[in-house]
Structure 1
Amino acid sequence: MKRQGRLLALVLAIILAGGSVAANAATIKAGATCSKAGLTKIYSGKKYTCIKSGRKYIWNKGVAVIAAPKPSPTPTPSPIATAPAQPITFDNLDTKWVRKIAYDQIAAGVANSTNYVPNITYVIGPSLTASRVDQEKQALNRTSSFWSDIFKPSQVFIGYFTEKDVDWVDSAMCSQARYCPSGGSVVISKVIKDDTPWCNSAMATNNNDGIPFFDQCLGNGSDAIKNRQTGPHEYTHWVQQANANWSWVPNWWTEGSADYFGNTLGIYNGATMPAQLDEMSYNSSYNWVRQDLCPMPEPTVELITKCFRYTYNGGGAPPGNGNKYMLAHVSYYMGGLATEAMIAVKGLATFKAFTKDLKTITFDTAFEKHYGLTADEFYPKVAKYVLAMYQQKR
């Protein structure tokens, strides 16, 4: 029994000693002994290092351990759509895509066009600087190349001036450009006076010899972003005059397509659609909702459809008696958006082929031939697009 008692006591001593060692191993205090210099342990938020102090090895005071921040999960970027979910059709004129798809067609048309500039006789007012005229020529040269596959005039006349040239302009245009107005023809000096204090109007026609002529005032207000479209706009009218029988075409196409090509070719700066295009397009809506010929104080699909039909068989200028606005004000905005939709759905080549056909067949016949529905069926469909873009201020 004594022997068993001693054995039991020895076992208990070993267990207690082991527990003491385990406790000492688990608990670290500054100044407590340790076994080897350089040994490190982390305990209770501190990192302790074993150092030599005299003849002993002890734990130092320790330094706080700052936990490394857990990395935030990197969000997976949403894929950027490169094409509409559904094909663009006249029944699906998605406002997120129509403008981009149509502009891509214009950009490709510019990039692939053959460089062509007709023989231009410029008649330039004495108040203008060469640098101001050169600004206009850049867009004009781009436009003449763009349309050269269906319109390639051998000679044209262009008159540039400001309001300061009002006493010079009529005689100069007559003697140097052979534009000598008579009857109901527009007298340029009168337009300048009527538009005071602004001078940013333009007009495309033929001179007395039947040669293309357009005049443009580069005066007060002409440097606004919208007026970047003026030169290409008027050149597009020449294209229309050369290819279409104007007695057959609605004014929404005449003025609207000129507005659209004026905007896109005037602001063009490469393959990327310019941010200013929305502003330029929406600018034309200002008089669209104020005009008094086809009243539309609050646009609806029904009223817009009615106004598309209204633009047939009407003159463009000047306004009729008692009217403040001319038919072009009905046409610019909604016609520009209709042109944009036509190009987005069927492409630029189809639009040009359609334009060429207008010389020999009626507008409605040509429209059905190239677009697969009648113009009358087209209007309520595109009116939805016009209304949506107007509500988005684009």
Structure 2
Amino acid sequence: MRKHLRLVALLIPMVLVASNSYAAVKAGSACSKVGSKSVSSGKSYTCIKSGKKLVWNKGVLIPVAKPAPSASASATPSASPTPKASVAPAVVYPKGPTSFDDLIENYQGISYAAWSKTSAAIKASTSQSPAFRAVTGPNTKLTYPTPAVAFDLVKRMYGDYQSSPDFTVLSFGYADRMWAQEQMRAIQPSSTYQWITDMACATKETCWGGGMFTDEKAMGLLVLTTEVVDDNHTTGTLEAHEYTHAIQQNQMRGPQPWPTTGNWPPTWYLEGQAEFSQNAAIYYESFALYTKNRRDVSQDLFRDSKITSEWIREFFVVSQPSSWFSKYDRWRQYDLGGMLVEVLTAIKGPASTMEVWKQCGSGMKFPDAFEKVYGISFEKALPIISKAIALELGRS
């Protein structure tokens, strides 16, 4: 069954709220207008859309300010001066890099600079991802019921860079894997639809993750598994990851080869950008949550002492031979690639990393596109990037 779906983004910036109300409310009870607010029992509640209903969310605790010391009614100085109310010091983040010239010097500020530039881009944009057809398995319950929210955040993150305006979202759990394979075959007959049973959902325990497929007509198919219930499948990071691939592929205007060949950027850039996007987009309102999830997906890098500056430099091969894929753990394409994209975002913002794709789609090779966007050859930038990442990992 196919149906058109356009979900309303729930993450509305506070500055856009039109009105407030102060009647007593209860989380989950009905409300009348999306975005309206109510304060009750020390919490601020926001009216959100859940399915077809408008309900109050769980609410956020309102900090209680301590009263300031009252001024003395007498002009006579007190024998024992009243101490001033303490003020929590503002958080000061390390200075971020402004170019490759000061990248190593300011390596401690890479993560915050990348996050803050992404957060600013999302908050400044009102872009929306295009409507899509939702095809969901008959026995499937979505683990993240509002995928358009994640899609919209990624779209706002990358501004003018578009995904295919014609795409389908296919969601399924283990019980519907054969059904899903037939659906994929019907939607994209020339696709590798066997991927569903061979890799994406070979067993119940490994029915995890997703994939993005663009056919020769630039029509997109975003596939999501729903069997495993973990943070990646319940927070929107999976949807954000795959939608990043949708924008990447639309810049290339054709099916993605695997491994990448021709003008396509390397796989570590392809997956690294999607890995960075999933955390930066979903957690754009909290650097603390961004940092936590960034560290969660990159924990192997911090544990493995062999990953030094030299090792990283050798890893980032532009034209990857088949021997490269057997030498390195496939997950390094994601986490280490994500750290490289974080560096580029810290220097020049998230849109710059998608501009590389646009240039490759126009016929440029990755090194040429990189140099055009960042003003330095990839060959010269690589040892600087490798050193900065190694320092972030606590190594030389």
Pairwise CA distance, 1:140: 1.9
Pairwise CA distance, 1:122: 1.2
Give the conservation status (yes or no) of the 8 Å contact 1:282–1:390: no
Which residues of 2 match residues 1-394 of structure 1 at below 5 A?
A: 80=90, 84=94, 88-90=98-100, 91-93=102-104, 94-129=106-141, 132-147=143-158, 149-175=160-186, 178-180=187-189, 186-194=194-202, 196-207=204-215, 210-224=218-232, 228-244=236-252, 247-248=262-263, 249-268=265-284, 270=285, 273-286=286-299, 298-309=306-317, 312-314=319-321, 325-326=329-330, 329-359=331-361, 360-391=363-394
The alignment's TM-score, normalised by the length of structure 1, stands at: 0.66
Aligned AA (1:159) = L
Aligned AA (1:155) = D
- Going from structure 1 to structure 2, the CA distance change for 1:85 and 1:390 (only over 3 Å counts) comes to closer
Deviation per residue, 1:73-125 (Å, 9 max, x gap): 76997964756558543333534422222112212221222332313111111
Pairwise CA distance, 1:226: 9.0
Deviation per residue, 1:300-330 (Å, 9 max, x gap): 1111111012x5335799x66xx7943xx23
Name whichever of 281-290 and 72-81 sits farther off.
Answer: 72-81
- Looking at structure 2, the residues matched to 324 and 382 of structure 1 have their Cα atoms a distance apart, in angstroms, of 19
Secondary structure (helix, strand or coil) at the match of 2:146 reads: helix
Give the conservation status (yes or no) of the 8 Å contact 2:214–2:249: no
Give the conservation status (yes or no) of the 8 Å contact 1:368–1:374: yes
Deviation per residue, 1:45-75 (Å, 9 max, x gap): xxxxxxxxxxxxxxxxxxxxxxx99679769
- Going from structure 1 to structure 2, the CA distance change for 1:202 and 1:288 (only over 3 Å counts) comes to farther
CA RMSD of aligned residues (A): 3.6
Aligned AA (2:165) = S
Pairwise CA distance, 1:227: 6.5
Pairwise CA distance, 1:375: 0.9
Q: Which has the higher contact order (CA 8 A, sep 6+)?
A: 2
Secondary structure (helix, strand or coil) at the match of 2:129 reads: coil
Q: How many residue pairs get matched?
A: 307
- Looking at structure 1, the residues matched to 328 and 336 of structure 2 have their Cα atoms a distance apart, in angstroms, of 19
Pairwise CA distance, 1:237: 1.2
Larger Rg over CA atoms: 1
- Looking at structure 2, the residues matched to 316 and 357 of structure 1 have their Cα atoms a distance apart, in angstroms, of 28
Aligned AA (1:179) = Q
**Unpaired runs of 5+ in structure 1?**
1-67, 291-295
Pairwise CA distance, 1:266: 2.6
1:51: which partner in 2?
none
- Going from structure 1 to structure 2, the CA distance change for 1:302 and 1:152 (only over 3 Å counts) comes to closer
Identity of aligned residues (%): 21
